[in-house]
Amino acid sequence: MTASDEALIVIDVQNDFCPGGALAVGGGDEIVPGINALMAEFDTIVLTQDWHPAGHSSFASSHEGRGPFTQIDMPYGPQMLWPDHCIQGTDGAAFHPKLDLSPAQMIVRKGFRAGVDSYSAFFENDRTTTTGLVGYLRARSVQRLTVVGLALDYCVNFSAVDAAGLGFDVTVDYTLCRAIAEDSLKEAVAGMQAAGVVLA
C-alpha cells in the first residue's frame, strides 16, 4: 500500500479513446490491465471522464467548414478541434469495460460546458474554471499524485502540469499512458519536465 497522502488519478480511460472509438489513441486499451493492478496499491483513486454535450464547441462538426485536428481561436485562446467524442450517456463516453471501477471513490466529469473544453482534471481550457478536484484532494490531505491514462499528450499532460502548479508532487507513469500524436507528445514531455513532473 502507498502512503495515505498519495492518490492515483486515472485520466479518461473511455471507449472513444480506445481502438474502435471516435478519437482512438493507438494502444489505448493496452494500459487497462496495468492500471487495474496499480489501483490495488492506492487508498485514494480518482477517475476522470470526458463528458461532452452533443454539439460541443471542441467538435469540428460544430464549426462549418472545419475539419478535425485543426485549431480555432476560442474566446479563451487556441482550441484544437476533434471528431465528435465522449458524448454524455453514449457508449463512447463509457469507461473501458475492463477498467475496474469499484476501487475508485471519485469520478470527475469534465468538458460538459458547451462553450469550453476541459483537458485538465483541475481547470477547464479557459484556465480559470475549476473542476473542484483540488479541493477534494486537499481535504483528504493528498500531496503526491500518480497520473496515468489517456491521452498522454493532452489530458494527462494538462492534468499533470496543473497539479504541479498547484503544489502537488506529481509522477506520470508513462508506461500506463498512450498519446494521440508524436509532435504533441514531444511538446507535452518537455512541458511536463519543465513543470517538475516526474516521468517514470
Does 150 bind ligand VGL (CB under 6 A)? Our answer is yes
Q: Is 155 designated active site?
A: yes
Helix (H, G, I), strand (E, B) or coil at 61: helix
Does 50 bind Zn ion (CB under 5 A)? Our answer is yes
Q: Which residues pair with 46 in a beta bridge?
A: 9, 106
Q: Is 177 designated active site?
A: no
The one catalytic residue among 16, 18, 29, 155: 155
Q: Which of residues 94-123 bind ligand VGL (CB under 6 A)?
A: 119
The string of DSSP codes covering 17-36 is GSTTSTTPPTTGGGGHHHHH
As measured in angstroms, the least distance from the Cβ of 67 to ligand VGL is: 15
Does 16 bind ligand VGL (CB under 6 A)? Our answer is no
- Decide whether 44 or 58 has the Cβ nearer to Zn ion: 58
**Which of 95, 122, 154, 168 is in the footprint of ligand VGL by CB under 6 A?**
154
- Decide whether 72 or 199 has the Cβ nearer to Zn ion: 72
Strands of the 169-178 sheet, one edge to the other: 106-110, 44-50, 6-11, 144-150, 169-178, 198-199
Q: Is 98 designated active site?
A: no
CA distance 149 to 31: 7
Residues 6+ positions from 44 with CB-CB distance below 8 Å: 4, 6, 7, 8, 105, 137, 140, 142
| CB-CB contact of 131 with 125 (8 Å) | no
The one catalytic residue among 84, 110, 173, 177: 110
- Decide whether 22 or 45 has the Cβ nearer to ligand VGL: 22
**Which of 22, 145, 155, 176 is in the footprint of ligand VGL by CB under 6 A?**
155
Q: How many residues sit in the footprint of ligand VGL (CB under 6 A)?
A: 9
Residues with a known catalytic role: 12, 110, 155
Where along the sequence are the contacts to ligand VGL (CB under 6 A)?
12, 17, 50, 82, 119, 150-151, 154-155
